[in-house]
Amino acid sequence: MSRNKESWWSRMRRQYRLAVLDDRTLREVFHMRLSGLGTISVFVMLFLVMLVSLSVLIIFTPIRNILPGYSESIRQQVIMESARVDSLQMVLNVQRQYLDVIKKVTAGDISTDSIERLDSLEMVRQAMILEERHEATDAFLSQYEQKERDRLLLFDSQAKRTDQRPYRPVRGVVVQSARPDHHQYCTVIRVAKNENVLSAMRGTIVSVERAMDNTFTIIIQRKQYSCIYRSVSTALKQQGAQVEAGESVGLMDGKTDLRIEIWDGGSFIDPEDVIVW
């Protein structure tokens, strides 16, 4: 095995003659002596030279900008430079305004007592902007307060008729308002599945009736006031039960909409006027 190794090493160091002959006269035109080890060394040196040259080109020339990862750093640098340019522009504008004021003072166009500092002028401008926003906010708040005041006054007048503030019977969205002029006295509320129906006032359940569509109509009465719930999916209380305001009297399955009516004796009360949905 050592003999094979020696023969391989000796072959690598053995000199070979590389000759170039003329094809017509077979005369030797060029020749050189090569060995396997020398040939490998030459290729390794060429590879190293190419690698160093390519590295120098990438590091010290703009070619590196086309490589992945360098574009993001260039973008950040451009952003920073643009921000620096903007800052310098602002400084130049302030200096230009300052010089204009100095020129006007030296020319006698304005007196020195009327000059304000540039930063104070900027503060005044910002204060004027804030003041305008403040006035717009005050206008909006005044309109909102007036609207809420009108609604609360209407609510108070209706609450005095019912001797108490009605409790919101269900969480939902009003999809149809009552129209007494068209003999439609129900306010239709769309509710989610398994939503509890609560008593709007303290009183007695005087009626629990099943309709043809397997829903229930529940009537709660207190003195001359009545609250009627229609299309209740499940009734949780029986006729004659005493309930408090906010107590659960029924359950909705989400397939039907709850219909609510409120009456003061023979006078209709719009639920949207006395209940905050």
The tens digit of pLDDT for each residue in 15-34 reads: 888 888 888 888 888 888 87
Q: Rg of the chain's alpha carbons, rounded to an integer?
A: 47
- Number of structural domains, the chain? 3
Last residue of a domain, one of 162, 187, 218: 162
CA distance 133 to 129: 6
Q: Are residues 153 and 181 in the same domain?
A: no
What is the CATH classification number for the domain harbouring 236?
2.70.70.10
CA distance 269 to 165: 13
> Quick check: 213 pLDDT over 60?
yes
Kindly give, in sequence order, each residue whose CB lies less than 8 Å from that of residue 23, ignoring residues fewer than 6 positions away: none
The answer to the question of residue 117 being in a domain is no
**pLDDT confidence of residue 219:** 93
Dihedral sign for Cα atoms in the order 104, 108, 110, 111: positive
The answer to the question of residue 195 being in a domain is yes
Q: What is the pLDDT of residues 244-272, one digit of tens each?
A: 888 889 889 888 899 999 998 888 888 88
> Quick check: 163 pLDDT over 70?
no
Q: Are residues 130 and 190 in the same domain?
A: no
Average pLDDT over residues 48-65: 85
Last residue of a domain, one of 23, 39, 62: 62
- Domain that residue 34 falls in: 2-62
Q: Are residues 199 and 265 in the same domain?
A: yes
CA angle 190, 195, 199 (to 5 degrees): 95
The answer to the question of residue 34 being in a domain is yes
Band (188; pLDDT cuts 50, 70, 90): very high
Q: Are residues 126 and 43 in the same domain?
A: no
Supply the DSSP symbol for 19.
Answer: E
Q: Are residues 176 and 147 in the same domain?
A: no
**pLDDT confidence of residue 94:** 82
pTM: 0.42
> Quick check: 112 pLDDT over 60?
no
**pLDDT confidence of residue 1:** 46
The answer to the question of residue 206 being in a domain is yes
Dihedral sign for Cα atoms in the order 253, 254, 255, 259: positive
CA distance 231 to 261: 12
The answer to the question of residue 105 being in a domain is no
CA distance 133 to 120: 20
The answer to the question of residue 167 being in a domain is no
Q: Are residues 136 and 217 in the same domain?
A: no
The answer to the question of residue 86 being in a domain is no
